[in-house]
Chains A and B, each alone.
Chain A
Amino acid sequence: MTNRPLTEHLDRSNPQDIKAYQSSGGYQGFKNALAMEPQAVQQQVSDSKLKGRGGAGFMTGMKWSFVPMGDKALNQDGTPQQKYLVCNADEMEPGTFKDRLLMEGAPHLLIEGMMIAAYAIGASVAYIFLRGEYRLCATRLQQAIDEATKSGLLGKNINGSDYSLSLHLHLSAGRYICGEETALINALEGRRANPRAKPPFPQVMGLFGRPTIVNNCETLCNLPSILNHGAQWYSELANSPDAGTKIYGVSGRVKNAGLWELPMGATAQQILDLANGMQDGLKLKGWLPGGASTDFLLPEHLDIPMEYDAIAKAGSRLGTGGIIALDDHHCPVGMILNLLQFFAQESCGWCTPCRDGLPWAVEILSRIEAGKGSQDDIDQLLKMCGFMWIGKTFCALAPGAVEPLRSGLTYFADEFQQHIDHKGCPYGH
């Protein structure tokens, strides 16, 4: 049995070939699922302790359990309610490229995962919400969908059962907020991707007002092996409180940026080692553990296990597990400015703190970076961190954006001060 359930099927040359996938055990997980009651599939996933890989780390089995099933899922006229499964493959978080790897290399793995999830919640239509820039993913996924349909794995009465599923690929037109699951649902409905208020949760009222599950691509890719090898096997893959494996990555000025599948709880040091460390002449100054919307950590945190609770304890979030390494030749203020520019641009414009707060923070940071900042500006930035914090905004975009800013203000306070005192960027930016 493999210990790399996500990447074992990775095949860069001919990934959409369904035969190859099947011959290495592909679609067995789905067949196992189909032989079970949907609720039993849910139970198995719950037992595996799989947590969502989209960033928030919510228990996948638990999320599914809110979907009305059986008698509770009937329309007024007694017909079964329409339900949907959506794969969140929007992956626009800077520093994150794991889903791309999976979709380019193992499209059938995702499709199988979606089939399992859809079956478990009783959805008959599923969508992959793919970011528009991932053209290769789109081609491969579409080919894989077509092949799966041809071989009777998708469509009506799959494998002679009374379960039917149609799966469609939707290409987004580009907007980071589409990754937020309720905004994604609006985008799928052809609307402006503003997030929706919760409650009602999508599990009850989602796409077109129907019960809907949105799961991250990587989350779904874990399902075939869970159904194939069992919940216990899966949870024991990791030597940490969190189950399974995770695709970790690192980018920035390292020698060998890339992605690796490691058991949950690997340390950042291990990952950095796989990347052969920093480029020559550069030292690690700080790092974001899981994409642009996580708090900075310092070199001293490198040995903390990269799992949800441990990273949280260190003051950051595991996020997507895509490490961004800041070296000592790049200005932290510049980096934070770049990050905040991203978020300000991608704000959907729905709620006040995010829509007007982020551009404001950018305005201040730009001034500081240009050597025109003052002490007041630092105070104002600190205030802005509180202003856009959790509970104050409508969705998690702005609080996410604040994370690198507020930790940066603490960890790189000296650099900020230098910009002000010397009226310019000490890194010459």
Chain B
Amino acid sequence: MANIIIDNQQYEVADGQNLLQACLSLKKDLPYFCWHPAMGSVGACRQCAMTQYHDENDTRGRLIVACMTPVTDGMRVSMEQPQETEFREQVIDALMTHHPHDCPVCAEGGECHLQDMTVMTGHYKRGFKGKKTTFQNQQLGPLIKHEMNRCITCYRCERFYKDYAGGTDLAAQSSRNKVYFGRQCDGTLESEFAGNLVEVCPTGVFTDKPFGDHYSRKWDMQAAPSVCQHCSTGCNVTLSERYGSVRRVTNRFNDHLNGYFLCDRGRFGFDFVNSEQRQQHISLGGQSVNWSDAEVQQRLKAKGTWVGIGSSQASLEDNFALQLLVGAENFCVADDPQSEHLLELHMAILQQWPQASLAQMEQADAIVIIGEDINNSAPRIGLAIRQALLNNAKQQVKNVGVPEWQDSAVRQVLPHNKVPLAVVGYQQGALAEQATIRLVADDKQTAEQAFLLANLLCEKSPKPRVSKVHSQIEEIAEVLKTAKRPLIVGGWSANNSAVLSAVANICKALANPQGMLCIAPPAANTVGLGLLMQAGYLANEAVESKLKSEECNLLVLDHTSDSRQQWLQTLSKQTNNVVCLQQLAQGENNSLSLPISSFSECSGSQLNYQGLIQSYSPASKPAGQCRPAWQWLVDLGKLQNIAELASVEHLGQLHLMMSKLFPTLAEHFTELSGRQFAMQSPRYSGRTAMLANQTVHEPKPFSEAGAPYKQSMEGLLPGQNDQHPLAYSWSPGWNSNQSNHKFRDEFRGPELKSQQGIFAVPNHPECFWFKWQASWSANTKANYKILAVEEVFGSDSLAEFAGAIQQLSKSAYVVVLPKVASSLNIEAGQWVTLDDHPTLFAVKISDHVPAKSILLYSPAHEAAISDGCDEIKVASKQKISALHKRQQAQQDVQSQQKQLHKQRLLDQDQHIPIQFIEGAM
């Protein structure tokens, strides 16, 4: 701690930080632009000027910029003397010499950091009388809109995009007062983190394009704290709603997980909730029907065993209700035996090894990634790992007395102070390219070598059958032995349980209490399903035989993957009563389907990769007949006389029941209940005006039974309780997301802080070795083994229902070794076919493909392909032109849909059904 004197008042602040951080921690309003808590200081904008004094006799002092000044014990500074306040006002005046003052038409207006800072410095009159510069804007793709004239040259965008996120296609260009931030030419921003520019830019240069198409001011929207649905990281997000449609997702600050940043899949993928494909009515064989229809009732009350199929995309509550309804012995947790096995194993590991939060991972000083393309499967974790790569450079600057938040110094020494990053496996991508040690291996070799690695670290660790240790593995072992805070990363991507076992064994073999582990499961609530599994489940392999042997009905919880659809098709041959609870109209035909609310329309909880329980709350009310799945299930429970379930009236009761079964959940659910949070900002103007064309009565805001959130201005405001999520970020004087600083007591230091929150999977400290698995699922005799790879855009079946993501999704491709390409006489970019599979694949060539294998990416909604293939052939001209036609048609449909989608949403704004809001009648 350090004692410092600001404007003659003494304060105690944490040392090691800079003066700007200290002032913000003290809740002082010190303006700034270029500094960012996650990106450190560079001192470019000069907005955070203060005066430092030598001692109490020094009356003149010396102007400093706070963000570049380390806090030292006994320092004397002022923030409110004329010299610095006047200067800070002048800085705004100078920044505004180019700014077009176009707030009324700017999407940033109302939550603009520049607006806030302008007001904060007291600047109100333009001094500059000359002409302003006009820049040309660029087309940056479907996600981001560019309006360069609003730029104030704080360099944040470049620093985030290039330095923080490793993007290679955006940088500062030109010089003097003509500095330009953009790409070399028009084109879609390549980084999967580009969306953060919207929040990183302190003004309206980079704005959210889909949001801009269906725009609303911040103060006209109500916001709900929510959790991202697009991977297992569980990033905290805010949903903003108006007129019943969710307009956008923004980052919801969480120090331990997503911090200040999201990936674009999360930011733009949410739009599936507004999709045309949302099912709004009960349907039978594709026809709308009613709950009370005889056939419907008959189906719902059908005799025989009800087999329930859970979903890793659905909430804990929904899955739990299903488990209650059908009974644990009839509750199936996975679409195939392999993922069921992975889930079992995953839970076993989770019980032994707490998994690192993202903030902790950022502190690693050695990283080993085994068989996982974390960049594509859980992009935000990849971004955290990227930050860990800086740690040696940070240490290096600290050694010469420079604080680690001085970002440019750290980056100067980065090239020769790399944190070791080892990548074992076949996954490609940005992190693999950064690897200092890289071993290209197929899934089997990966697992074998990982087991050998564990064995090198500790002899007791089980060995696989092979004994040849690759030199890279020896190198990795050495790195791991000397590292203070090593991080081991694995995951489900290789669909290989041996990888999971190996990763756990490495942790045990390391026996480093500071060692960290991260295993990324595929979906937002995979671990939640794993938790319920502890109460018993029906083995996947038994489902089919059960259907065959008894009279069975299938009750299926929503999941958008193709593998689910395919499996259901197989199963539905064995039963003629399939009831689906689904949000997106998918699949078939003879089933009865009940429309359910999306995550934006109801409350729910899920467990992230760590088993951390997090809850989301609704931003809007479901349309049509949609209801939360658990409510349908309760009604089914009533029909089927399942007493326990039938008595449930609201979510709180379900929570109580869950808490009894899984006591770890109790604390979270108790905390959740009974609190009220304001979801409309104090400036919310829509409340009385929105429906004025239809009624003069002020409608009652809708509320969900048992939900902790209130859709009104009443309740806890942001910042009143630091234990709880903010529905939106705001504090007096701070309308932009930078208001988050007002709720932080101090900024994250280098130390490993334990994560707040409740981990639902109980830890059993004793741990055991995992055995080498001899049975190999992916053995193939084919010429080429097929190894599946993922893409940020395209591999998440849910996000594929969002228009903007769809536009970015790549078409199928294969990656082959150069020698394979030349032997087959194929070139990069050509189209090929694999055996007689109908899909055409674009060819990529890379050295980092395991021998005798090809890497294959196929979009989530295209038919999956088997484990191997014998022949790669250049596609025939007919096929290619057919593909082009199809693509063309698809694009036409897409752009048409985009138009229709926009129109539909705009129409909805005009004709908002009045009964939509309770009490309006």
With the chains together, A173 CA to B20 CA distance in Å?
Answer: 37
Partner of B63, one of A209, A344, A364, A391: A391
Partner of A200, one of B64, B91, B397, B416: B397
B68 and A197: CB pair below 8 A? yes
Partner of A352, one of B63, B64, B94, B175: B94
Partner of A197, one of B46, B98, B155, B409: B409
- Known: A199-B402, A205-B409. Is A356-B98 also a contact (CB below 8 A)? yes
B409 and A356: CB pair below 8 A? no
- Does chain B have a CB within 8 A of A12? no
A355 and B43: CB pair below 8 A? no
Interface residues of A in 333-366 (CB under 8 A from B): 344-353, 355-357, 359-360, 363-364
- Does chain B have a CB within 8 A of A58? no
B residues in contact with A204, CB < 8 Å:
400
B408 and A352: CB pair below 8 A? no
A residues in contact with B412, CB < 8 Å:
196, 200, 205, 208-209
- Does chain A have a CB within 8 A of B625? no
With the chains together, A352 CA to B96 CA distance in Å?
Answer: 10
A348, A380, A391 pick with most chain B CB within 10 angstroms: A391
A residues in contact with B402, CB < 8 Å:
199-200, 205
- Does chain A have a CB within 8 A of B90? yes
B residues in contact with A208, CB < 8 Å:
412, 415-416
B177 and A355: CB pair below 8 A? yes
In this complex, what residue of B is CB-closest to A345?
B176
In this complex, what residue of B is CB-closest to A344?
B176
- Known: A197-B68, A360-B94, A380-B127. Is A352-B413 also a contact (CB below 8 A)? no
Interface residues of A in 371-414 (CB under 8 A from B): 380, 383, 386-387, 391-394
- Known: A208-B416, A387-B87, A392-B87. Is A356-B45 also a contact (CB below 8 A)? no
Q: How far is the CB of B92 from chain A (nearest CB, A)?
A: 9
- Known: A204-B400, A208-B416. Is A197-B177 also a contact (CB below 8 A)? no
With the chains together, A114 CA to B233 CA distance in Å?
Answer: 56
Partner of A383, one of B90, B128, B415: B90
B residues in contact with A347, CB < 8 Å:
175-177
In this complex, what residue of A is CB-closest to B133?
A359
With the chains together, A205 CA to B68 CA distance in Å?
Answer: 17
- Size of the A side of the interface (Cβ < 8 Å), in residues, is 36
Partner of B46, one of A209, A364, A392: A392
- Does chain A have a CB within 8 A of B44? yes
B46, B47, B91 pick with most chain A CB within 10 angstroms: B46
B409 and A349: CB pair below 8 A? no
B residues in contact with A393, CB < 8 Å:
46
- Does chain A have a CB within 8 A of B172? yes
B129 and A357: CB pair below 8 A? no
- Known: A353-B91, A392-B87. Is A346-B46 also a contact (CB below 8 A)? no
- Does chain B have a CB within 8 A of A192? yes
- Does chain A have a CB within 8 A of B732? no
With the chains together, A344 CA to B133 CA distance in Å?
Answer: 14
In this complex, what residue of A is CB-closest to B155?
A350
With the chains together, A196 CA to B397 CA distance in Å?
Answer: 14
A394 and B94: CB pair below 8 A? no
- Size of the B side of the interface (Cβ < 8 Å), in residues, is 46
- Does chain A have a CB within 8 A of B42? yes
B residues in contact with A387, CB < 8 Å:
87, 90, 94
Partner of A353, one of B46, B152, B175: B46
Partner of A356, one of B64, B68, B95, B416: B95
- Known: A200-B409, A356-B177, A392-B87. Is A351-B415 also a contact (CB below 8 A)? no
B68 and A357: CB pair below 8 A? no
In this complex, what residue of B is CB-closest to A366?
B130
With the chains together, A387 CA to B95 CA distance in Å?
Answer: 13
A360 and B44: CB pair below 8 A? no
In this complex, what residue of A is CB-closest to B393?
A209
- Does chain A have a CB within 8 A of B275? no
Interface residues of A in 183-222 (CB under 8 A from B): 192, 196-197, 199-200, 204-205, 208-209
Q: How far is the CB of B419 from chain A (nearest CB, A)?
A: 13
Q: How far is the CB of B402 from chain A (nearest CB, A)?
A: 5
- Known: A197-B409, A360-B128, A380-B127. Is A352-B397 also a contact (CB below 8 A)? no
Partner of A360, one of B97, B152, B417: B97
- Does chain A have a CB within 8 A of B104? no
A residues in contact with B406, CB < 8 Å:
197
With the chains together, A175 CA to B174 CA distance in Å?
Answer: 12
B175 and A209: CB pair below 8 A? no
A residues in contact with B94, CB < 8 Å:
352-353, 355-357, 360, 387
- Known: A197-B409, A355-B177. Is A394-B400 also a contact (CB below 8 A)? no
With the chains together, A204 CA to B399 CA distance in Å?
Answer: 11
Q: How far is the CB of A184 from chain B (nearest CB, A)?
A: 14
Partner of B97, one of A359, A383, A391: A359
With the chains together, A355 CA to B176 CA distance in Å?
Answer: 5
With the chains together, A357 CA to B127 CA distance in Å?
Answer: 11
Q: How far is the CB of A391 from chain B (nearest CB, A)?
A: 4
- Does chain A have a CB within 8 A of B62? yes
With the chains together, A209 CA to B417 CA distance in Å?
Answer: 10
With the chains together, A353 CA to B413 CA distance in Å?
Answer: 28
- Known: A197-B43, A392-B49. Is A349-B416 also a contact (CB below 8 A)? no
Q: How far is the CB of A193 from chain B (nearest CB, A)?
A: 9
- Does chain A have a CB within 8 A of B179? yes
With the chains together, A348 CA to B344 CA distance in Å?
Answer: 59
In this complex, what residue of B is CB-closest to A389?
B63
- Does chain A have a CB within 8 A of B178? yes
Q: How far is the CB of A379 from chain B (nearest CB, A)?
A: 10
B397 and A391: CB pair below 8 A? no
Q: How far is the CB of B401 from chain A (nearest CB, A)?
A: 7
A205 and B129: CB pair below 8 A? no
B residues in contact with A175, CB < 8 Å:
175
A residues in contact with B64, CB < 8 Å:
391
Interface residues of B in 129-166 (CB under 8 A from A): 129-130, 152-153, 155
A350 and B401: CB pair below 8 A? no
Q: How far is the CB of A21 from chain B (nearest CB, A)?
A: 37
- Per-residue CB contact flags for chain A residues 121-164 toward chain B (1 = under 8 Å, else 0) read 00000000000000000000000000000000000000000000
In this complex, what residue of A is CB-closest to B397?
A200
With the chains together, A260 CA to B75 CA distance in Å?
Answer: 48
With the chains together, A208 CA to B411 CA distance in Å?
Answer: 10
Partner of B153, one of A209, A344, A355, A359: A355
With the chains together, A9 CA to B161 CA distance in Å?
Answer: 53
- Per-residue CB contact flags for chain B residues 104-131 toward chain A (1 = under 8 Å, else 0) read 0000000000000000000000011110
Q: How far is the CB of B662 from chain A (nearest CB, A)?
A: 49
Interface residues of A in 275-303 (CB under 8 A from B): none
A199 and B408: CB pair below 8 A? no
In this complex, what residue of B is CB-closest to A393?
B46
A349 and B178: CB pair below 8 A? yes
With the chains together, A400 CA to B415 CA distance in Å?
Answer: 34
Q: How far is the CB of B51 from chain A (nearest CB, A)?
A: 9
A residues in contact with B152, CB < 8 Å:
352
B409 and A352: CB pair below 8 A? no
- Known: A204-B400, A349-B179, A360-B130. Is A209-B416 also a contact (CB below 8 A)? yes
Q: How far is the CB of A360 from chain B (nearest CB, A)?
A: 6
A346 and B176: CB pair below 8 A? yes
- 16 pairs, A vs B, C-beta closer than 8 Å: A175-B175, A192-B172, A196-B409, A197-B42, A200-B409, A205-B397, A209-B396, A345-B176, A346-B176, A349-B175, A349-B176, A349-B177, A351-B44, A360-B97, A363-B130, A367-B129
Given A199-B401, A209-B412, A360-B97, 12 new contacts (CB under 8 A): A199-B409, A349-B153, A349-B176, A350-B155, A351-B46, A355-B153, A356-B94, A356-B97, A359-B177, A363-B128, A363-B130, A391-B63
Binding site for B on A (CB under 8 A): 175, 192, 196-197, 199-200, 204-205, 208-209, 344-353, 355-357, 359-360, 363-364, 367, 380, 383, 386-387, 391-394
- By Cβ-Cβ distance, the 10 closest A-B pairs, closest first, are A209-B413, A363-B130, A356-B94, A391-B63, A349-B179, A209-B412, A349-B175, A347-B176, A387-B90, A200-B402
